[in-house]
Amino acid sequence: MVSEWPIVRIEDIAKKIAMGPFGSNIKVETFVESGVPVISGAHLHGIRVEDGVFNFVTDEHAERMKNSNVFRGDVIFTHAGNIGQVAYIPQDSQYERYVISQRQFYLRCDLSKADPVFISYFFHSNEGRHKLLANASQTGVPSIARPSSYLKTIELSLPPLEEQRAIAETLSVLDDRIDNLRRINATLEAIAAALFKSRFVDFDGVPPEGMQESELGLIPKGWRIGTFGDVAEHPRRSVQPEEIESSTPYIALEHMPRHCIALGDWGIAAGLESNKYEFKRGEILFGKLRPYFHKVGVAPLDGVCSTDIVVIAPKSPAWFGFVLAHASSDQFVEYTNAGSTGTKMPRTSWREMSRYAVVLPPEPIATAFNKQVQQIAEKIIANVHESRTLAALRDTLLPRLISGQLRVNQ
What stretch(es) of the chain map to CATH 3.90.220.20?
7-158, 183-388
**Whole-angstrom distance, CA of residue 302 vs CA of residue 278:** 8
Mean pLDDT score, 322-347:
96
The predicted model gives 96-115 an average pLDDT of 97
Per residue in 350-359, pLDDT (tens digit) is: 999 999 999 9
Q: How many residues does the chain have?
A: 410
pLDDT in tens, 201-225: 999 999 999 999 999 999 999 999 9
Q: How far is CA 2 from the centre of its chain?
A: 35
Cβ–Cβ contacts within 10 Å for residue 389, how many? 12
pLDDT (0 to 100) of residue 130 = 96
Least confident segment among 16-30, 103-117, 387-401: 16-30
- For the chain, the distance separating the N- and C-terminal CA atoms, rounded to the nearest angstrom, is 12
What does the pLDDT average to over 233-250?
Answer: 96
Report d(CA 35, CA 33) in Å as an integer.
7
Q: pTM of the entire structure?
A: 0.88
Kindly report, residue by residue over 127-152, the tens digit of the pLDDT. 999 999 999 987 788 999 999 999 99
Q: Which residues of 87-117 are buried (b: 16+ CB within 10 A; e: fewer)?
A: bbbbeebebeebbbbbbbbbbbbeeeebbbb
Confidence tier at 3 by pLDDT (50, 70, 90) = low
Residue-wise pLDDT tens digits, 281-315: 999 999 999 999 999 999 999 999 999 999 999 99
In the structure, how many helices (H) and strands (E) does the chain have? 11, 25
Percentage with pLDDT > 70 across the chain: 99
The per-residue pLDDT for 343 is 86
* Beta carbons of 17 and 152 less than 8 angstroms apart: yes
Under CATH, what is the fold of the domain 7-158? Adenine-n6-DNA-methyltransferase TaqI; Chain A, domain 2 (3.90.220)
183-388 under CATH 3.90.220.20, yes or no? yes
Which of these ranges, 188-192, 364-368, 401-405, has the smallest mean pLDDT? Answer: 401-405
Report the C-alpha gap between 260 and 89 in whole angstroms.
23
CB atoms within 10 A of CB 3: 7
Q: For residue 50, give the 3-state DSSP assignment.
A: coil
pLDDT at 392: 96
- pLDDT tops 70 at residue 410: no
Beta-sheet strands, E only, within 31-174: 36-39, 55-57, 69-71, 75-78, 86-88, 97-100, 104-109, 136-137, 143-144, 155-157
User: pLDDT band at residue 329, thresholds of 50, 70 and 90?
Assistant: very high
Q: Answer yes or no: are the C-beta atoms of 166 and 408 closer than 8 Å.
A: yes
Instruction: Name every residue whose Cβ is closer than 8 Å to that of residue 308 and which is 6 or more positions away in sequence.
Output: 252, 253, 287, 288, 289, 347
β-pairing, 36-39 vs 97-100, is parallel
